């Protein structure tokens, strides 16, 4: 019985990791005044839907790529995009393969290719200074952003509810399974961050029951300087205050100013 369960988990595990909304996403302009719909082309010939919200005025300045978590699509991040824009950032929000009507199926390798396409597209926009691009990753997206940072270091990295590794998250939810041996997609963030010299901010909620705050703190403790930690008290993984609340974005803006991005 146990061996049959393990085989089933091995074959179906990505259904336990990725929870995409597969329906097409509405036009950017319907939720983000000034936003526009764009398409990102990946190295393996996927075409990904995205929203772009440039800063008004056309002056060259900083930009941010938002790396979504493992559920939903970019329509659920419209408020975050609007508030990042108010910080003076040109904002790119995109959906991974298999999400938001995009072709393909999500995997660690596939999301890494999607991340490279997003960064390259934003760096090519005339109003964006390619040396002042920020990565903002939430939950699983924090792991995607960390992986990209090793290849293409950003000006700053903001990680909301990050984890040390996917295996560590799985162990908190399935402590009776040998998840270390079962996982195909591993996202070993704590092994990757040791080579980074980018300024990094970690944001966590003390009532997060999906990515326990202890995992975010452990990742933070392993980070090299410069770094900053923000604990948002009384918040769970998907609470509005942690997803895009005023306090969080105020502190993110202060961090980006302190490290010279804004």
Catalytic residues: 139, 208, 237
Sequence-ordered alpha helix ranges (H) in the chain: 2-17, 28-31, 78-86, 108-123, 140-151, 166-173, 179-182, 189-192, 213-222, 240-244, 246-258
Q: Which long-range contacts (CB under 8 A, 24 or more apart) does 111-115 make?
A: 111/144, 112/144, 112/147, 112/148, 113/42, 113/43, 113/44, 113/46, 114/40, 114/42, 114/46, 114/48, 114/144, 115/65, 115/67, 115/144, 115/145, 115/147, 115/148
Count Cβ atoms below 10 Å from residue 8 Cβ, excluding itself. 10
Q: Which H, E and C letters describe 182-247, residue by residue? A: HCCCCCCHHHHHHHCCCCEEEEEECCCCCCCHHHHHHHHHHCCCCEEEEEECCCCCCCHHHHHCHH
Angstrom CA distances, 46 to 101, 117, 142, 172, 237, stand at 12, 10, 22, 34, 30
């Amino acid at each position: 019985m146990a061996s049959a369960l393990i085989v089933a988990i091995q074959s179906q595990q990505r259904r336990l990791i990725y929870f995409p909304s597969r329906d097409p996403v509405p036009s950017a302009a319907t939720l983000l005044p000034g936003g526009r719909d764009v398409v990102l082309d990946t190295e393996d010939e996927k075409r990904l839907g995205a929203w772009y919200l440039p800063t008004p005025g056309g002056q060259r300045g900083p930009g941010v790529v938002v790396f979504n978590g493992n559920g939903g699509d970019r329509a659920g991040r419209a408020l975050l995009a609007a508030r990042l824009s108010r910080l003076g950032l040109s904002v790119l929000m995109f959906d991974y393969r298999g999400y938001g009507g995009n072709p393909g199926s999500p995997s660690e390798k596939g999301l890494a290719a999607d991340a490279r396409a997003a960064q390259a597209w934003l760096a090519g926009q005339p109003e964006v200074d390619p040396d002042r691009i920020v990565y903002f990753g939430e939950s699983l997206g924090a792991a995607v952003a960390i992986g990209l940072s090793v290849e293409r270091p950003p000006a700053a990295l903001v990680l909301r509810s990050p984890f040390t590794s996917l295996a560590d998250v799985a162990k908190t939810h399935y402590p009776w399974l040998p998840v270390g041996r079962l996982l195909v997609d591993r996202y070993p963030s704590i092994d990757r961050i040791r080579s980074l010299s980018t300024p990094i901010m970690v944001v966590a909620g003390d009532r997060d029951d999906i990515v326990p705050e202890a995992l975010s703190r452990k990742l933070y403790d392993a980070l090299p300087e410069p770094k900053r930690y923000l604990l948002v008290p009384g918040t769970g993984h998907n609470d509005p205050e942690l997803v895009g609340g005023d306090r969080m974005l105020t502190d993110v803006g202060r961090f980006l100013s302190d490290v010279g991005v804004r």
